[in-house]
Structure 1
Amino acid sequence: MKNSYWVLRHGRSKANEAGVIVSSLNNGVKVEYALSEAGKQQAVEAGRQLAGELTQRGLAPSSLQIYSSPFSRTVETAELVATELGLPVSSVVKETDLRERYFGTALELQSHDLYAGVWEVDMQDVSQGPAGGGESVKAVSTRLSGLLDRLEEAHEGETILLVAHGDTLSILTTTVKGGELGSHREWGLKTAELSLLVP
């Protein structure tokens, strides 16, 4: 690839604390599902960590390109990171293709304990999405592959941060590394966990 990519899962959100699934774009952009106070602190700490990582590599933190899912929890995370890096919050680009994997109408706003059943199905059939129009692993992988292609066309020799969600980033990582899509949860990130995807 022509660019270096870091990935960051959003900080702990109010939805995480309530234990509910918020995966539709309509719900995801609502402020009531943004970061919790703990999540805000996690995002600040992630920004500091990334600043250190970039400095160690001889890169100016202010040179970073930041793309974020449009969900409130990811945008808030990205903006807090940007501030830590000395970038204006206006530099954060909202990218719809980084949105959360949609888990379907049957699971929307239901208990996050239901994720486990979805991931079991993922391991059996990457083409089958959750009930009610949910996205399959394969569909999310295709969406993210298209995004990477667009970013590779738009940038060259840059360092790019992608701020997104648990399943979105585990599927992206598996796709980039050529792993088995059904086992994407092996690449799962904790809230506000930073990872170097492509050096």
Structure 2
Amino acid sequence: MLPVQNIYWVLRHGRSKANEAAIIVSTLENGLKPEYGLADAGKQQAEAAGQLMLQQLQQQGVPLGAVQVYSSPFSRTAETASIAAVAAGLDPAAVQLTPLLRERCFGAKLELTCHQNYCPAWEGDAADPDSKPCGCVDGESVQEVAARLRQLFQELEQQHEGQHILLVSHGDTLSILQATFHGTCLAQHRQYGLGTAELKQLNGSGGSRQAIAARIAEPRAAAESAVAASAEAVCMPELVQTAASS
């Protein structure tokens, strides 16, 4: 694959109504519903994130014409992308929705249940990134999410050159993306968890841009050939509240 031609930013959606209700909303059917969009606090967070991105772009001397925004189609992410775009001086109508950035599906068994059910799912991830969340056959494994993110990355690299690309998505989706981007074992993706409306520029630390592109292009990083023996940490309630995927 060609060297990375663009600069990538990630933004997790603002605090959502699902966050406030402490439930998992991970299917496309439910995620598109407006009743699971942003809470008022989340809208304020999204605006602040857009202002922060504008400030950082200005500090780097990046013209707004060199910025592209892609978002998950879920209501909470689409709203976040639109609000942040306006705050950053970008055209919200130019935000492009892609299902490749959608939330990781945790399966019908966990859908609309208490968000503390993320804990056993993440423990399963740490033990085996090929495993389905809590054994839900209709849920997505970490490997499956990583595969669609590699597809997205490859498509963006073909379509753009020299652009700053903001990816607005969800907790698990973005932690898996970052693990893929940095060549980290996918079983350890939770170390890249983001808070609501947290903005981060992926600067390729730990290797050249060409090496990063190669990592993302690979179906499986070499480090993942050995499955983690066990979850390294117990999921605490406060962690779920601040870094839960929904």
Under a length normalisation based on structure 1, what TM-score does the superposition of the two structures give? 0.98
Aligned to 2:142: 137
Aligned to 1:41: 44
Aligned to 1:51: 54
State which drifts further: 88-97 or 5-14: 88-97
Structure 2 residues not aligned, in runs of 5+: 205-246
**Which whole-Å deviations, capped at 9, do the CAs of 1:10-67 have from their partners, x for residues lacking one?**
0000000000000000000100000000000000000000000100000123531000
Report the Cα offset of residue 129 of structure 1: 1.1
> Secondary structure of the equivalent of 1:101?
coil
Is residue 2:202 matched to residue 1:197? yes
> Secondary structure of the equivalent of 1:58?
coil
Aligned to 2:154: 149
Is residue 2:170 matched to residue 1:158? no
Aligned to 1:5: 8
Question: Which amino acid counterpart does residue 9 of structure 1 have in structure 2?
Answer: R
Aligned pair in 2 of structure 1 residues 198, 152: CA closer, same or farther (>3 Å)?
Answer: farther
> Secondary structure of the equivalent of 1:189?
coil
Query: For residues 15 and 48 of structure 2, what CA distance do their matches in structure 1 show?
Result: 12
Report the Cα offset of residue 132 of structure 1: 4.0
> Secondary structure of the equivalent of 2:148?
helix
Larger radius of gyration: 2
Question: Which amino acid counterpart does residue 119 of structure 1 have in structure 2?
Answer: W
Equivalent residue runs for 1:65-144 within 5 Å: 65-130=68-133, 131-144=136-149
> Secondary structure of the equivalent of 2:131?
coil
Aligned to 1:179: 184
**Which whole-Å deviations, capped at 9, do the CAs of 1:52-88 have from their partners, x for residues lacking one?**
0100000123531000000000000000011112222
> Secondary structure of the equivalent of 2:202?
strand
Instruction: Determine what percentage of the aligned residue pairs are the same residue.
Output: 53
Report the Cα offset of residue 155 of structure 1: 0.3
**Which whole-Å deviations, capped at 9, do the CAs of 1:79-110 have from their partners, x for residues lacking one?**
00111122222110001100000000100000
Query: For residues 115 and 16 of structure 1, what CA distance do their matches in structure 2 show?
Result: 13
Query: For residues 92 and 60 of structure 2, what CA distance do their matches in structure 1 show?
Result: 23
Query: For residues 202 and 97 of structure 2, what CA distance do their matches in structure 1 show?
Result: 19
- Alignment check: 8 A CA contact 2:54 2:89 kept: no
Query: For residues 16 and 169 of structure 1, what CA distance do their matches in structure 2 show?
Result: 17
Is residue 2:188 matched to residue 1:188? no
**Which whole-Å deviations, capped at 9, do the CAs of 1:118-141 have from their partners, x for residues lacking one?**
000001111111214100000001
**Which whole-Å deviations, capped at 9, do the CAs of 1:139-198 have from their partners, x for residues lacking one?**
001110111000000000100000000000000000010001011000000000001114
State which drifts further: 60-69 or 50-59: 60-69
- Alignment check: 8 A CA contact 2:146 2:180 kept: yes
Under a length normalisation based on structure 2, what TM-score does the superposition of the two structures give? 0.79
